[in-house]
Structure 1
């Protein structure tokens, strides 16, 4: 007699091939209308599920996890980041947490590079002129941006995504600089042509473009605060495709409005989809709707990782992408 299938609850709509495979393997409850679950629905989901598959839009804090039923043994997150999950509380309740790392480095690096190229060359302003029909023809002085080649690119965090950005930046003639908690191996530095800065403050004062590639943790919250942002040149640009909470969004907005920074390209925001309205008004800012990982290939690979984590757990083994305390 076959063992009963795991009861799996998925909080958001996933790509159809992923959902189809889940239906084959598990007793799965899907979210066909893709409306984010509020706290009440999440509590109902974790009350009698064996596995919850959440996304970044689901906040699983200690209070909510405290209402989990005895069946819940795995939170198989659809995404690499897990700062929306109180992992410590989950572990205290013997609930394993897994994620989907190592999938989106190339996709996110592509998006970061697109922003690095777009904002200094004033692509958002040019596109707006064309959209509104206000363009009256070419002019020798219109929409003059800045050349990329020869500029100093500062990379905050040189993990998989940071390295992928560095590899893309070098052929464009950018000088690659980086700050990270630990210096990478000299061979990696040499291959990327990257210069390490032990001091983030010193790096910020010398670069022309900053791109952020660190996770959101207690130690990185507002890592780019008002004091550090003021270290940057007024001609510098900031790009963020990592986590919005790393940057003090109000301080960034004030500096952009005051001309203390030249521009920004943002795909993530400190308060999720609630964006500072003053930020929306700035012509030197390109705002994207958290689409750094939005490729069919990447999202399918994320789904495959979720399924492997659940299937491995169901077979009595440790999920390959289990989040462990040392990662917190």
Structure 2
């Protein structure tokens, strides 16, 4: 029997699927959030199904003498040393595609809540301050004819763009490569090659890019200075794409009008200055949190594990990471 480690509880469907091919251990949340904890146990397992919070370092992979595959319960995989895995002939997998619609909905929801100050308005009511309709109460930004600048026009970026177009927004985008002309035309989207130009033209700036050496702290003090004072920032990519200290200062100084963040650089810790920043919507990394999507994420990871453990050709496992 194969031995499979799942680093924290996930939906039951993928667990039951994996129990058909091996002995599955589901660890309590937080058990394997350190390299040391993983190293002490990974030698016993043939497969690892892990979270973005799981540090799958070279040391961990070298300790996994039986390890054949690491499958991330996420689209991103910056927590895994992919180069080391390839050198050690350990397969890696992520979960593309299945999060797209849930994340597109969520990004639109964040923007609506932020632009119309829904959190502040609800708090105002719950605190007993609502005494009737106010002509100047909680004035926000209408989205029609505003410009949405998207950094990272992959599947999720495009899903957000489709929704924003339905609200009458204009789309500009920055991407490593220009998207297909048919998609660009469908979205009436304009490709902008320069980050500073994109930022200065955007009423709303959305971050949908992966975390790489190039995108680490991409949004820093210099870039924030270029944003219009009325601009809003939405991030559902990775926390470290933003210099959180610089963002917090910009919000406190009202250099930008607001930010909605689902991810943070040092999760689960949140920068203390962000916690006190005005017009800031902070959520605990829940962009993919629907029943359908979380089941699909788990099954995609589980199917990759099954394929590798049963010796299927790599070509039959579409979500293996190849680079």
- Calculate the TM-score normalised by the size of structure 1: 0.94
- Residue by residue, what CA displacement relative to the aligned partner does 1:21-62 show, whole Å, maximum 9, x if unpaired? 22222211112x333423333113311111111111111122
Alignment pair present for 1:124 and 2:119: yes
The reply to whether residue 53 of structure 1 matches residue 49 of structure 2 is yes
Q: Which runs of 5+ in 1 are unaligned?
A: none
CA distance in 2, matches of 1:263, 1:34: 32
Aligned residues of 2:4 and 2:48 also touching (Cα < 8 A): yes
The question of 1:280 aligning with 2:278 is answered: no
SS in 2 for 1:119: helix
The structural deviation recorded for 1:99 is 1.0
The whole-number CA distance in structure 2 between the counterparts of 1:171 and 1:301 is 27
SS at match of 2:63: coil
Matched residues in 1 for 2:127 and 2:268: separation?
25
1:225 to 215, 220, 229: 220
User: 2:101 aligned to 86, 103, 106, which one?
Assistant: 106
How far, CA to CA, are the matches of 2:163 and 2:225 in structure 1? 28
Work out the CA distance in 1 between the residues paired with 2:31 and 2:78.
Answer: 17
* Offset at residue 120 of structure 1 (A): 1.5
For residues 73 and 169 of structure 1, the distance between their equivalents in structure 2, rounded to whole angstroms, comes to 42
Is the counterpart of residue 11 in structure 1 residue 26 in structure 2? Answer: no
CA–CA distance in structure 2, aligned partners of residues 315 and 213 of structure 1: 35
- Shift of the alpha carbon at 1:136? 2.1
Identify the residue that residue 322 of structure 1 maps to in structure 2: 320
Query: How far apart, in 2, do the equivalents of 1:233 and 1:74 lie?
Result: 46
Cα distance in 1 for residues equivalent to 2:31 and 2:226? 39
| 8 Å contact from structure 1 (residues 151, 208) kept in 2 | yes
Q: Can you give the 5+ residue segments of structure 2 that lack an aligned partner in the other structure?
A: none
- Show the 5 A alignment for 1:1-328: 5-31=1-27, 33-37=28-32, 38-68=34-64, 70-317=65-312, 318=314, 319-325=317-323
Mapped to 1, the partners of 2:35 and 2:43 lie a distance apart of 12
Cα distance, 1:322 vs. partner? Answer: 1.2
Assess if the C-alpha contact under 8 Å between 2:172 and 2:192 holds in 1: yes
TM-score (norm 2): 0.95
User: Is the 8 Å Cα contact of residues 13 and 299 (structure 2) preserved in structure 1?
Assistant: no
Q: Secondary structure at the match of 1:189?
A: helix
Shift of 1:94: 1.4
Residue deviations 1:142-199, cap 9 Å, x none?
1111211111111111110011011101110111111111111221111011111011
Change (3 A) 1:24 1:131: farther
**CA offset at residue 248 of structure 1?**
0.7
Query: Which shows bigger deviation, 301-310 or 253-262?
Result: 301-310
In the alignment of these two chains, the number of paired residues is 319
Secondary structure (helix, strand or coil) at the match of 1:195 reads strand
CA distance in 1, matches of 2:150, 2:204: 9
Checking the alignment, whether the CA contact within 8 Å between 2:150 and 2:207 is kept in structure 1 is yes
Q: How many angstroms does 1:309 deviate by?
A: 0.5
Which whole-Å CA distance do the structure 2 matches of 1:256 and 1:298 have between them? 33
Q: Distance in 1 between matches of 2:68 and 2:14?
A: 21
**Alpha-carbon deviation of 1:15?**
0.6
